[in-house]
Structure 1
Amino acid sequence: MCRVVDVRQAVLAKNDALAGALRAELAARGTAVVNLLSSPGSGKTALLEQVLAGTSARGVPTAALTADLATENDATRLARSGVPVKQVLTGGLCHLEAAQLRTQLEGWLPAGTRVLYVENVGNLVCPASYDLGETLRITLMSVTEGEDKPLKYPTAFGLAHLVVLTKTDLAQAVGFDRAEFAQNVARVNPGVELAETSARTGEGVEALVERVVTVAQGGGVHRPAMAVAGPATGDPAGSPS
């Protein structure tokens, strides 16, 4: 067990070093990276379609990289926004890593890109521990997933700079308790920003675009200190820089 922990710590330390270097390189180019994490079915891609279009419509040079185990379905959808899009097939890997992202960006990321959205592989365990050199980490969750999701996946929510609630048009139908959800988020990430969105109605999309553009222009983000370990799920704590 100790050996497994040691190896994991070494892997994460190497990734963090690479992520720090990538963050500095992209910042020097004027590129802000937005790392999007969520469970499958959260509505992340549908929301990102609108956010890409909204960011581009503001005259902000924008690109997107989307990762999946298989298929190029998400890249096809995101390309409808008109921004440069690249699909990454991880071949079974459940998350992106900094070295992998750097390789994918080489020779592809258009010069002058101000905002790069990275749609991570759909799960809330592995991706949460890997810093990608992002400027802004957003964890998304739909109202259909239950108010206790932040407690079940404390690293994913505890290390987010922004938590976005999706599919709010369904909140009443599923009996979603916003107050309980907010309390649970605060338990693992006190002071983090919360946003509500609906890709179907457009609620919150412009506000989300505004938040990203502000960050891209040098605006600050809430920096979580540390996530709480989740023994019930085996969710490991991580620490993006």
Structure 2
Amino acid sequence: MKINIREDVLKDHNMVAKLNRETFKESKTLVINLMSSPGSGKTTLLEETINSLKNEYTIAVIEGDLATDLDAQRLSLLGINTVQINTVGGCHLDARMIAKILPEFELNRIDILFIENIGNLVCPSGYDLGQDFKVVVLSVPEGNDKIPKYPVMFRRTDLTIINKIDLLPYVTFSLEQAKKDLAAINPEAQLIGLSAQTGEGIEDWINWLKDAYLQCTKH
């Protein structure tokens, strides 16, 4: 006997994500799900982003890690509300985790909420957290093969950031090839090259965020 199971196994999870999205929309909070592999420079990018925007916007961060609160400590030093989630081995954040800690934020007073997801180019791509935009950070030392090798992640991103472009003279990475690979997988996605360490290109990212915030608050 053959049994066909058609119900989405993530149905309950997606219902929570929908509720999260409604909560964010009601408070007019822009929510960015920031994903990458380990070591891409997400936290450094967040530090530079917060320093660039904190005089104009109220910013908060949900920091996801398997263990420790080292990154959350770094961000807290900038004077923003940062809440740590440790998955204790789990390879991604999910909507229930986000919903559980939302009471720790005064969302009506937060303009931009960053969710720094677990460092992983596979698992986080499949889970809706209720965010407005998915942003993937790829660093040039990781190589040009990552976009074609992990198509699901890059197919679902709104923006891909190529970080550490200050290292381009020292590694075999091509920005043009990255643009071609991304366009082949996700023609609608944007790509920005920058260096969170030196600040080169950071203004393009900041302008993207400001435009995203305007989109968010119009609704």
Same fold (TM over 0.5): yes
Alignment of 1:38-77 (within 5 A): 38-57=36-55, 59-77=56-74
Matching of residue 31 in structure 1 with residue 34 in structure 2: no
Deviation per CA, 1:70-120, whole angstroms, max 9, x where unpaired? Answer: 011000111122211111111111111111101111133453101000000
Q: Which residue of 2 aligns with 1:136?
A: 133
Q: Distance in 2 between matches of 1:164 and 1:8?
A: 35
Q: Distance in 1 between matches of 2:13 and 2:150?
A: 21
* C-alpha distance 94-155 of structure 1, shift in aligned 2 (>3 A): same
Specify which of 187, 190, 194 is matched with residue 191 of structure 2.
Answer: 194
Q: Distance in 2 between matches of 1:102 and 1:133?
A: 9
Tell which deviates more after alignment, 210-219 or 27-36: 210-219
Amino acid at match of 1:206: E
Would you say how many aligned residue pairs link Structure 1 and Structure 2? 216
Checking the alignment, whether the CA contact within 8 Å between 1:63 and 1:85 is kept in structure 2 is yes
Q: Distance in 2 between matches of 1:166 and 1:7?
A: 40
TM-score, length of structure 2 as denominator length = 0.92
Taking only the aligned residue pairs, the percentage that are identical comes to 35
Compute the displacement of 1:17 (Å).
2.0
* C-alpha distance 8-100 of structure 1, shift in aligned 2 (>3 A): farther
Could you tell me which runs of 5 or more consecutive residues in structure 1 were left unpaired when the two chains were aligned.
221-241
Q: Distance in 2 between matches of 1:37 and 1:6?
A: 31
Could you tell me which runs of 5 or more consecutive residues in structure 2 were left unpaired when the two chains were aligned.
none
Checking the alignment, whether the CA contact within 8 Å between 2:63 and 2:71 is kept in structure 1 is yes
Checking the alignment, whether the CA contact within 8 Å between 2:28 and 2:108 is kept in structure 1 is no
Checking the alignment, whether the CA contact within 8 Å between 1:19 and 1:132 is kept in structure 2 is yes
Matching of residue 88 in structure 1 with residue 85 in structure 2: yes
Checking the alignment, whether the CA contact within 8 Å between 1:63 and 1:109 is kept in structure 2 is no
Q: Which residue of 1 aligns with 2:177?
A: 180
TM-score, length of structure 1 as denominator length = 0.84
In structure 1, the residue corresponding to 2:85 is in which secondary structure? strand
Specify which of 123, 137, 140 is matched with residue 120 of structure 2.
Answer: 123
Specify which of 102, 106, 115 is matched with residue 99 of structure 2.
Answer: 102
Q: Distance in 2 between matches of 1:126 and 1:8?
A: 20
Checking the alignment, whether the CA contact within 8 Å between 2:122 and 2:150 is kept in structure 1 is yes
* C-alpha distance 126-7 of structure 1, shift in aligned 2 (>3 A): farther
Compute the displacement of 1:219 (Å).
5.8
* C-alpha distance 6-92 of structure 1, shift in aligned 2 (>3 A): farther
